[in-house]
Structure 1
Amino acid sequence: MLIIDILTLFPQMFSGPFSESIIKRGQEKGLIKINITNIRDFSRDKHKKVDDYPYGGGPGMVIKPEPVFEAVESILKQHKRDEHYQKWIILMTPQGKVFNQKKAMELAQKQHLIIICGHYEGIDERVRQFLVDEEISIGDYILTGGELPAMVVVDCVARLIPGMLGEEQSIKDESFTKGILEYPQYTRPEVYRGYRVPDILLSGNHRKISEWRRLEAIRRTFLRRPDLLDDYPLTPEEKEFLIQLSREVKKNKSG
Protein backbone atom coordinates (compact mmCIF):
# COMPACT_ATOMS: atom_id res chain seq x y z
CA MET A 1 0.00 0.00 0.00
CA LEU A 2 1.21 3.47 -0.87
CA ILE A 3 0.80 6.04 1.91
CA ILE A 4 0.48 9.69 0.92
CA ASP A 5 0.47 12.48 3.49
CA ILE A 6 -0.39 15.96 2.24
CA LEU A 7 0.48 19.06 4.26
CA THR A 8 -1.70 22.05 3.38
CA LEU A 9 -3.22 25.26 4.70
CA PHE A 10 -6.53 24.39 3.02
CA PRO A 11 -7.44 20.76 3.76
CA GLN A 12 -11.05 21.17 2.61
CA MET A 13 -9.84 21.50 -0.98
CA PHE A 14 -9.03 17.78 -1.09
CA SER A 15 -12.35 16.39 0.11
CA GLY A 16 -14.00 16.29 -3.33
CA PRO A 17 -11.22 15.00 -5.64
CA PHE A 18 -10.13 12.22 -3.28
CA SER A 19 -13.63 10.96 -2.48
CA GLU A 20 -14.60 10.12 -6.05
CA SER A 21 -13.81 7.65 -8.83
CA ILE A 22 -10.59 5.62 -8.94
CA ILE A 23 -8.89 7.20 -5.93
CA LYS A 24 -11.92 6.56 -3.76
CA ARG A 25 -12.04 2.90 -4.83
CA GLY A 26 -8.30 2.53 -4.29
CA GLN A 27 -8.63 3.72 -0.72
CA GLU A 28 -11.55 1.40 -0.10
CA LYS A 29 -9.51 -1.54 -1.44
CA GLY A 30 -6.56 -0.65 0.81
CA LEU A 31 -4.26 0.00 -2.15
CA ILE A 32 -3.58 3.60 -1.15
CA LYS A 33 -4.00 5.65 2.00
CA ILE A 34 -4.24 9.43 1.82
CA ASN A 35 -3.94 11.60 4.91
CA ILE A 36 -4.49 15.36 4.93
CA THR A 37 -2.69 17.43 7.59
CA ASN A 38 -3.48 21.06 8.31
CA ILE A 39 -0.21 22.94 8.74
CA ARG A 40 -2.01 25.46 10.95
CA ASP A 41 -2.43 22.74 13.60
CA PHE A 42 1.30 23.08 14.24
CA SER A 43 1.40 26.85 14.48
CA ARG A 44 2.81 28.32 17.70
CA ASP A 45 0.67 31.43 17.25
CA LYS A 46 -2.57 31.65 19.22
CA HIS A 47 -4.35 32.76 16.05
CA LYS A 48 -2.87 29.81 14.11
CA LYS A 49 -0.84 32.13 11.90
CA VAL A 50 1.79 30.31 9.84
CA ASP A 51 3.30 33.08 7.73
CA ASP A 52 5.39 36.20 8.31
CA TYR A 53 7.05 39.05 6.44
CA PRO A 54 10.21 38.14 4.51
CA TYR A 55 13.57 39.18 5.91
CA GLY A 56 15.08 41.90 3.77
CA GLY A 57 11.69 43.23 2.75
CA GLY A 58 9.63 42.53 -0.32
CA PRO A 59 6.01 41.83 -1.26
CA GLY A 60 3.82 39.10 0.19
CA MET A 61 4.16 36.73 3.11
CA VAL A 62 6.35 33.65 3.56
CA ILE A 63 5.36 30.39 5.27
CA LYS A 64 7.39 29.95 8.48
CA PRO A 65 9.62 26.88 8.92
CA GLU A 66 8.43 25.75 12.38
CA PRO A 67 4.92 24.50 11.52
CA VAL A 68 6.14 22.71 8.41
CA PHE A 69 9.04 20.94 10.12
CA GLU A 70 6.91 19.97 13.10
CA ALA A 71 4.04 18.72 10.92
CA VAL A 72 6.44 16.45 9.03
CA GLU A 73 8.08 15.25 12.25
CA SER A 74 4.66 14.41 13.68
CA ILE A 75 3.96 12.21 10.67
CA LEU A 76 7.37 10.53 10.84
CA LYS A 77 6.89 9.62 14.50
CA GLN A 78 4.09 7.30 13.49
CA HIS A 79 6.57 5.17 11.52
CA LYS A 80 9.73 5.37 13.65
CA ARG A 81 9.46 1.76 14.89
CA ASP A 82 9.38 0.32 11.39
CA GLU A 83 12.98 -0.48 10.44
CA HIS A 84 12.04 -0.92 6.77
CA TYR A 85 10.20 2.40 6.59
CA GLN A 86 11.17 4.70 3.71
CA LYS A 87 9.73 8.16 3.07
CA TRP A 88 10.07 10.70 0.28
CA ILE A 89 9.26 14.36 1.00
CA ILE A 90 8.11 16.56 -1.88
CA LEU A 91 7.57 20.31 -2.05
CA MET A 92 5.13 21.49 -4.70
CA THR A 93 6.64 24.66 -6.15
CA PRO A 94 6.94 26.39 -9.56
CA GLN A 95 10.71 26.22 -9.08
CA GLY A 96 10.72 22.42 -9.03
CA LYS A 97 11.45 19.93 -11.76
CA VAL A 98 8.53 19.64 -14.19
CA PHE A 99 6.37 16.60 -13.45
CA ASN A 100 5.93 13.94 -16.14
CA GLN A 101 4.90 10.32 -16.57
CA LYS A 102 8.41 9.03 -15.89
CA LYS A 103 8.48 10.82 -12.56
CA ALA A 104 5.00 9.50 -11.73
CA MET A 105 6.24 5.95 -12.31
CA GLU A 106 9.19 6.58 -10.00
CA LEU A 107 6.98 7.95 -7.23
CA ALA A 108 4.54 5.04 -7.57
CA GLN A 109 7.37 2.76 -6.40
CA LYS A 110 7.81 4.66 -3.13
CA GLN A 111 6.45 3.43 0.20
CA HIS A 112 5.44 6.78 1.67
CA LEU A 113 5.10 10.18 0.01
CA ILE A 114 4.85 13.36 2.05
CA ILE A 115 3.72 16.28 -0.09
CA ILE A 116 4.04 19.86 1.14
CA CYS A 117 1.79 22.44 -0.53
CA GLY A 118 3.33 25.87 -0.67
CA HIS A 119 1.25 29.05 -0.56
CA TYR A 120 1.47 32.83 -0.31
CA GLU A 121 4.70 34.35 -1.64
CA GLY A 122 6.73 31.25 -0.85
CA ILE A 123 8.12 29.07 1.89
CA ASP A 124 11.12 29.55 4.18
CA GLU A 125 14.22 28.39 2.30
CA ARG A 126 15.25 26.13 5.18
CA VAL A 127 12.33 23.84 4.29
CA ARG A 128 13.84 23.42 0.82
CA GLN A 129 17.38 22.97 2.07
CA PHE A 130 17.00 20.71 5.08
CA LEU A 131 13.61 18.98 4.92
CA VAL A 132 12.44 18.03 1.42
CA ASP A 133 13.92 15.40 -0.87
CA GLU A 134 12.56 16.82 -4.10
CA GLU A 135 10.80 19.87 -5.52
CA ILE A 136 8.15 19.32 -8.20
CA SER A 137 6.26 21.66 -10.52
CA ILE A 138 3.38 20.70 -12.82
CA GLY A 139 4.21 23.36 -15.41
CA ASP A 140 5.66 26.74 -16.20
CA TYR A 141 2.86 28.85 -14.77
CA ILE A 142 1.87 30.19 -11.35
CA LEU A 143 -1.10 29.01 -9.27
CA THR A 144 -2.32 30.38 -5.95
CA GLY A 145 -0.92 27.41 -4.05
CA GLY A 146 0.39 23.87 -4.19
CA GLU A 147 -2.95 22.17 -3.54
CA LEU A 148 -4.06 21.72 -7.16
CA PRO A 149 -0.58 20.53 -8.24
CA ALA A 150 -0.58 18.04 -5.35
CA MET A 151 -3.92 16.67 -6.57
CA VAL A 152 -2.48 16.24 -10.06
CA VAL A 153 0.54 14.35 -8.75
CA VAL A 154 -1.54 12.10 -6.49
CA ASP A 155 -4.03 11.30 -9.25
CA CYS A 156 -1.29 10.45 -11.73
CA VAL A 157 0.72 8.35 -9.26
CA ALA A 158 -2.26 6.55 -7.72
CA ARG A 159 -3.53 5.12 -11.00
CA LEU A 160 -0.14 3.44 -11.54
CA ILE A 161 -0.48 1.33 -8.40
CA PRO A 162 -1.25 -2.31 -9.33
CA GLY A 163 -4.93 -3.06 -8.91
CA MET A 164 -6.11 0.55 -9.05
CA LEU A 165 -7.43 0.34 -12.61
CA GLY A 166 -8.12 -3.36 -12.82
CA GLU A 167 -6.78 -3.62 -16.40
CA GLU A 168 -3.03 -3.15 -16.19
CA GLN A 169 -2.61 -3.39 -19.97
CA SER A 170 -4.48 -0.11 -20.39
CA ILE A 171 -1.69 1.69 -18.52
CA LYS A 172 0.99 0.21 -20.77
CA ASP A 173 -0.67 1.61 -23.88
CA GLU A 174 -1.34 5.12 -22.57
CA SER A 175 0.32 8.27 -23.83
CA PHE A 176 3.83 8.89 -22.41
CA THR A 177 4.03 5.42 -20.79
CA LYS A 178 5.97 4.13 -23.81
CA GLY A 179 7.54 7.52 -24.42
CA ILE A 180 5.18 8.61 -27.21
CA LEU A 181 1.51 9.56 -27.53
CA GLU A 182 -1.23 6.97 -27.66
CA TYR A 183 -2.82 5.79 -30.92
CA PRO A 184 -6.39 6.89 -31.88
CA GLN A 185 -9.28 5.05 -30.21
CA TYR A 186 -12.72 4.25 -31.64
CA THR A 187 -15.89 2.55 -30.41
CA ARG A 188 -19.46 1.92 -31.62
CA PRO A 189 -21.25 2.96 -33.75
CA GLU A 190 -19.23 1.95 -36.77
CA VAL A 191 -20.55 4.96 -38.68
CA TYR A 192 -21.59 8.20 -36.97
CA ARG A 193 -22.84 11.19 -39.00
CA GLY A 194 -21.06 9.76 -42.00
CA TYR A 195 -17.72 9.38 -40.19
CA ARG A 196 -16.47 5.79 -40.33
CA VAL A 197 -14.19 3.82 -38.06
CA PRO A 198 -10.98 2.83 -39.94
CA ASP A 199 -11.54 -0.45 -41.77
CA ILE A 200 -8.42 -2.04 -40.30
CA LEU A 201 -9.98 -1.99 -36.82
CA LEU A 202 -12.91 -4.04 -38.09
CA SER A 203 -10.76 -6.60 -39.89
CA GLY A 204 -10.16 -8.94 -36.96
CA ASN A 205 -6.49 -9.19 -37.98
CA HIS A 206 -4.80 -8.47 -34.65
CA ARG A 207 -1.30 -8.36 -36.09
CA LYS A 208 -2.23 -5.70 -38.63
CA ILE A 209 -4.26 -3.79 -36.04
CA SER A 210 -1.26 -3.75 -33.72
CA GLU A 211 0.96 -2.52 -36.55
CA TRP A 212 -1.56 0.20 -37.49
CA ARG A 213 -1.77 1.39 -33.90
CA ARG A 214 2.00 1.53 -33.58
CA LEU A 215 2.41 3.65 -36.69
CA GLU A 216 -0.55 5.86 -35.83
CA ALA A 217 0.97 6.50 -32.40
CA ILE A 218 4.16 7.62 -34.13
CA ARG A 219 2.18 9.75 -36.58
CA ARG A 220 0.29 11.50 -33.79
CA THR A 221 3.49 12.07 -31.82
CA PHE A 222 5.25 13.50 -34.87
CA LEU A 223 2.39 15.92 -35.56
CA ARG A 224 1.73 16.98 -31.96
CA ARG A 225 4.85 16.35 -29.86
CA PRO A 226 7.82 15.70 -32.19
CA ASP A 227 10.20 16.36 -29.29
CA LEU A 228 9.17 13.01 -27.77
CA LEU A 229 10.66 11.18 -30.75
CA ASP A 230 14.17 12.48 -30.08
CA ASP A 231 14.93 9.68 -27.62
CA TYR A 232 12.46 7.09 -28.90
CA PRO A 233 14.09 3.93 -30.35
CA LEU A 234 12.64 3.72 -33.87
CA THR A 235 12.86 0.60 -36.00
CA PRO A 236 14.04 0.93 -39.64
CA GLU A 237 10.40 0.57 -40.73
CA GLU A 238 9.32 3.35 -38.38
CA LYS A 239 12.12 5.62 -39.57
CA GLU A 240 11.00 5.13 -43.17
CA PHE A 241 7.41 5.83 -42.12
CA LEU A 242 8.53 9.12 -40.54
CA ILE A 243 10.43 10.13 -43.66
CA GLN A 244 7.32 9.59 -45.79
CA LEU A 245 5.16 11.38 -43.24
CA SER A 246 7.52 14.34 -43.14
CA ARG A 247 7.36 14.59 -46.93
CA GLU A 248 3.56 14.54 -46.85
CA VAL A 249 3.44 17.30 -44.27
CA LYS A 250 5.83 19.50 -46.25
CA LYS A 251 3.86 18.88 -49.44
CA ASN A 252 0.58 19.83 -47.76
CA LYS A 253 2.10 23.01 -46.35
CA SER A 254 3.58 24.06 -49.67
CA GLY A 255 0.33 23.26 -51.48
Structure 2
Amino acid sequence: MIGESGSGKSSLARAIAGLTSRTIERGPVIAGGSLEVLGIDVRRLRRKDDAELALRVGYVPQDAGAVLDPHLTVGENVSLPLFERDDDLDRKVAGGIVAEAIDAMHLTLATIPRYPHELSRGQRQRVAIARALVLDPELLVADDATAGVDATVRATILGHLAEVQRHRGFAAFVVSSEIGEVRRLSTRLAVLHRGELVGMGPIDTVLEQGTHPYVRRLAELSREHGRGAQA
Protein backbone atom coordinates (compact mmCIF):
# COMPACT_ATOMS: atom_id res chain seq x y z
CA MET A 1 0.00 0.00 0.00
CA ILE A 2 1.21 3.46 -0.86
CA GLY A 3 -0.14 6.90 -0.02
CA GLU A 4 0.75 10.39 1.13
CA SER A 5 1.58 11.18 4.74
CA GLY A 6 -1.63 11.36 6.75
CA SER A 7 -3.65 9.30 4.28
CA GLY A 8 -4.36 6.59 6.87
CA LYS A 9 -1.79 3.94 5.93
CA SER A 10 -0.41 3.44 9.43
CA SER A 11 -3.87 3.35 11.00
CA LEU A 12 -4.92 0.64 8.56
CA ALA A 13 -1.71 -1.32 9.16
CA ARG A 14 -2.23 -1.22 12.93
CA ALA A 15 -5.84 -2.27 12.56
CA ILE A 16 -4.88 -5.23 10.38
CA ALA A 17 -2.37 -6.24 13.06
CA GLY A 18 -5.17 -6.11 15.64
CA LEU A 19 -3.79 -3.01 17.37
CA THR A 20 -7.08 -1.12 17.58
CA SER A 21 -8.73 0.90 20.34
CA ARG A 22 -10.22 -2.35 21.64
CA THR A 23 -6.78 -3.82 22.39
CA ILE A 24 -4.35 -0.93 23.04
CA GLU A 25 -4.49 2.66 24.29
CA ARG A 26 -4.77 5.25 21.50
CA GLY A 27 -5.23 2.56 18.89
CA PRO A 28 -7.22 3.39 15.74
CA VAL A 29 -10.99 3.23 16.09
CA ILE A 30 -12.89 1.20 13.50
CA ALA A 31 -16.01 3.32 13.20
CA GLY A 32 -17.62 1.75 10.13
CA GLY A 33 -17.37 -1.03 7.63
CA SER A 34 -15.72 -4.29 8.57
CA LEU A 35 -12.26 -5.84 8.81
CA GLU A 36 -11.59 -9.56 8.89
CA VAL A 37 -8.02 -10.85 9.22
CA LEU A 38 -7.29 -14.58 9.03
CA GLY A 39 -10.94 -15.32 9.73
CA ILE A 40 -11.07 -13.04 12.79
CA ASP A 41 -13.46 -10.07 12.90
CA VAL A 42 -11.09 -7.32 14.05
CA ARG A 43 -13.87 -4.80 14.66
CA ARG A 44 -15.34 -7.11 17.30
CA LEU A 45 -12.02 -8.42 18.57
CA ARG A 46 -12.22 -10.14 21.93
CA ARG A 47 -9.33 -10.75 24.31
CA LYS A 48 -8.82 -14.39 23.30
CA ASP A 49 -8.93 -13.42 19.62
CA ASP A 50 -6.40 -10.68 20.28
CA ALA A 51 -3.98 -13.29 21.64
CA GLU A 52 -4.60 -15.56 18.66
CA LEU A 53 -4.06 -12.76 16.17
CA ALA A 54 -0.81 -11.75 17.90
CA LEU A 55 0.49 -15.29 17.35
CA ARG A 56 -0.54 -15.38 13.70
CA VAL A 57 0.36 -11.84 12.59
CA GLY A 58 3.82 -10.28 12.74
CA TYR A 59 3.94 -6.48 12.96
CA VAL A 60 6.85 -4.14 12.15
CA PRO A 61 6.31 -0.40 12.82
CA GLN A 62 8.16 2.49 11.20
CA ASP A 63 10.46 2.88 14.17
CA ALA A 64 11.91 -0.28 15.72
CA GLY A 65 12.28 1.67 18.94
CA ALA A 66 8.54 1.22 19.36
CA VAL A 67 8.88 -2.57 19.76
CA LEU A 68 12.46 -3.18 20.92
CA ASP A 69 13.00 -2.94 24.68
CA PRO A 70 16.20 -0.88 25.24
CA HIS A 71 16.90 -2.80 28.47
CA LEU A 72 16.99 -6.19 26.71
CA THR A 73 19.60 -7.60 24.39
CA VAL A 74 18.80 -8.28 20.75
CA GLY A 75 18.45 -11.98 21.53
CA GLU A 76 16.08 -11.30 24.42
CA ASN A 77 14.01 -8.94 22.30
CA VAL A 78 13.65 -11.42 19.45
CA SER A 79 12.84 -14.30 21.82
CA LEU A 80 10.07 -12.45 23.69
CA PRO A 81 7.24 -13.64 21.38
CA LEU A 82 8.46 -17.23 21.79
CA PHE A 83 8.15 -17.11 25.58
CA GLU A 84 4.86 -15.21 25.40
CA ARG A 85 3.51 -18.18 23.44
CA ASP A 86 5.17 -20.82 25.63
CA ASP A 87 6.86 -19.74 28.86
CA ASP A 88 8.16 -23.30 29.37
CA LEU A 89 10.05 -23.31 26.07
CA ASP A 90 13.56 -24.75 26.43
CA ARG A 91 16.06 -21.89 26.30
CA LYS A 92 18.42 -23.78 24.00
CA VAL A 93 15.59 -24.36 21.57
CA ALA A 94 14.64 -20.69 21.78
CA GLY A 95 18.26 -19.71 21.20
CA GLY A 96 18.37 -21.77 18.02
CA ILE A 97 15.17 -20.19 16.72
CA VAL A 98 16.47 -16.71 17.52
CA ALA A 99 19.80 -17.40 15.79
CA GLU A 100 17.95 -18.59 12.68
CA ALA A 101 15.76 -15.47 12.65
CA ILE A 102 18.77 -13.19 13.06
CA ASP A 103 20.65 -15.01 10.30
CA ALA A 104 17.65 -14.79 7.96
CA MET A 105 17.92 -11.00 8.13
CA HIS A 106 21.65 -11.22 7.36
CA LEU A 107 22.76 -10.01 10.77
CA THR A 108 25.78 -11.65 12.39
CA LEU A 109 25.32 -13.80 15.48
CA ALA A 110 27.53 -11.29 17.29
CA THR A 111 24.48 -9.02 17.19
CA ILE A 112 22.55 -11.25 19.62
CA PRO A 113 24.18 -10.11 22.92
CA ARG A 114 24.18 -6.42 21.95
CA TYR A 115 21.61 -3.82 22.99
CA PRO A 116 19.42 -1.83 20.57
CA HIS A 117 21.28 1.44 21.20
CA GLU A 118 24.50 -0.23 20.05
CA LEU A 119 23.04 -0.85 16.59
CA SER A 120 22.44 1.39 13.60
CA ARG A 121 18.85 2.27 12.72
CA GLY A 122 18.98 -0.11 9.77
CA GLN A 123 20.18 -2.94 12.02
CA ARG A 124 17.43 -2.20 14.55
CA GLN A 125 14.85 -2.40 11.78
CA ARG A 126 16.18 -5.80 10.73
CA VAL A 127 16.03 -6.97 14.35
CA ALA A 128 12.42 -5.78 14.54
CA ILE A 129 11.62 -7.77 11.39
CA ALA A 130 13.34 -10.84 12.83
CA ARG A 131 11.24 -10.46 15.99
CA ALA A 132 8.06 -10.16 13.90
CA LEU A 133 8.95 -13.33 11.99
CA VAL A 134 10.18 -15.48 14.88
CA LEU A 135 6.78 -17.17 15.33
CA ASP A 136 6.49 -17.96 11.60
CA PRO A 137 3.39 -15.77 11.19
CA GLU A 138 0.82 -16.36 8.49
CA LEU A 139 0.78 -12.62 7.79
CA LEU A 140 3.44 -9.93 8.14
CA VAL A 141 2.32 -6.32 8.48
CA ALA A 142 5.22 -3.94 7.78
CA ASP A 143 4.41 -0.25 8.21
CA ASP A 144 7.02 1.61 6.15
CA ALA A 145 9.70 -0.37 7.95
CA THR A 146 12.54 1.39 6.11
CA ALA A 147 11.42 4.97 6.80
CA GLY A 148 14.32 7.20 7.78
CA VAL A 149 16.92 4.62 6.77
CA ASP A 150 19.69 5.47 4.29
CA ALA A 151 18.73 4.57 0.69
CA THR A 152 21.47 1.94 0.26
CA VAL A 153 20.60 0.31 3.59
CA ARG A 154 16.90 0.48 2.71
CA ALA A 155 17.48 -1.54 -0.44
CA THR A 156 19.37 -4.16 1.57
CA ILE A 157 16.57 -4.48 4.14
CA LEU A 158 13.94 -4.80 1.42
CA GLY A 159 16.01 -7.43 -0.35
CA HIS A 160 16.32 -9.52 2.82
CA LEU A 161 12.61 -9.16 3.57
CA ALA A 162 11.65 -10.25 0.05
CA GLU A 163 14.04 -13.21 0.30
CA VAL A 164 12.54 -14.41 3.60
CA GLN A 165 9.00 -13.95 2.28
CA ARG A 166 9.73 -16.09 -0.78
CA HIS A 167 11.41 -18.75 1.34
CA ARG A 168 8.70 -19.00 4.03
CA GLY A 169 5.68 -18.22 1.86
CA PHE A 170 3.77 -16.00 4.32
CA ALA A 171 1.38 -13.26 3.16
CA ALA A 172 2.54 -9.67 3.61
CA PHE A 173 0.84 -6.29 3.87
CA VAL A 174 3.57 -3.73 3.28
CA VAL A 175 3.12 0.02 3.62
CA SER A 176 5.53 2.21 1.69
CA SER A 177 5.93 5.78 0.53
CA GLU A 178 8.15 4.87 -2.43
CA ILE A 179 6.79 3.33 -5.62
CA GLY A 180 10.22 1.81 -6.33
CA GLU A 181 10.05 -0.09 -3.03
CA VAL A 182 6.61 -1.44 -3.91
CA ARG A 183 7.94 -3.01 -7.10
CA ARG A 184 10.70 -4.75 -5.17
CA LEU A 185 8.25 -6.43 -2.83
CA SER A 186 4.98 -7.00 -4.63
CA THR A 187 3.08 -7.43 -7.86
CA ARG A 188 -0.06 -5.81 -6.42
CA LEU A 189 -0.66 -2.25 -5.29
CA ALA A 190 -3.28 -0.45 -3.23
CA VAL A 191 -3.33 3.36 -3.24
CA LEU A 192 -4.76 5.29 -0.29
CA HIS A 193 -5.53 9.00 -0.57
CA ARG A 194 -7.04 10.98 2.32
CA GLY A 195 -8.57 7.84 3.79
CA GLU A 196 -10.04 6.61 0.50
CA LEU A 197 -8.89 3.69 -1.62
CA VAL A 198 -8.35 5.20 -5.07
CA GLY A 199 -6.68 2.25 -6.77
CA MET A 200 -6.06 -1.45 -6.21
CA GLY A 201 -4.85 -4.31 -8.37
CA PRO A 202 -1.76 -5.38 -10.33
CA ILE A 203 0.81 -2.56 -10.11
CA ASP A 204 1.02 -1.78 -13.82
CA THR A 205 -2.77 -1.93 -14.23
CA VAL A 206 -3.30 0.52 -11.38
CA LEU A 207 -0.68 2.94 -12.67
CA GLU A 208 -1.62 2.72 -16.36
CA GLN A 209 -5.39 2.83 -15.95
CA GLY A 210 -5.78 4.95 -12.82
CA THR A 211 -7.76 8.16 -13.25
CA HIS A 212 -7.31 9.74 -9.80
CA PRO A 213 -4.80 12.65 -9.86
CA TYR A 214 -2.71 11.08 -7.09
CA VAL A 215 -2.47 7.79 -8.98
CA ARG A 216 -1.41 9.70 -12.09
CA ARG A 217 1.38 11.35 -10.09
CA LEU A 218 2.51 7.94 -8.88
CA ALA A 219 2.54 6.69 -12.47
CA GLU A 220 4.79 9.56 -13.50
CA LEU A 221 7.12 8.90 -10.55
CA SER A 222 7.25 5.24 -11.56
CA ARG A 223 8.23 6.18 -15.11
CA GLU A 224 10.92 8.53 -13.81
CA HIS A 225 12.21 5.79 -11.52
CA GLY A 226 12.34 3.41 -14.46
CA ARG A 227 14.25 5.91 -16.60
CA GLY A 228 16.66 6.53 -13.73
CA ALA A 229 17.28 2.80 -13.28
CA GLN A 230 18.00 2.40 -17.00
CA ALA A 231 20.42 5.32 -16.95
Shorter-chain TM-score category? under 0.3
Larger relative helix fraction: 2
| Structure (1 or 2) with the larger CA radius of gyration | 1
Q: Structure 1 length normalisation: TM-score?
A: 0.25
- Structure of greater relative contact order (alpha carbons < 8 Å, 6+ residues apart): 2
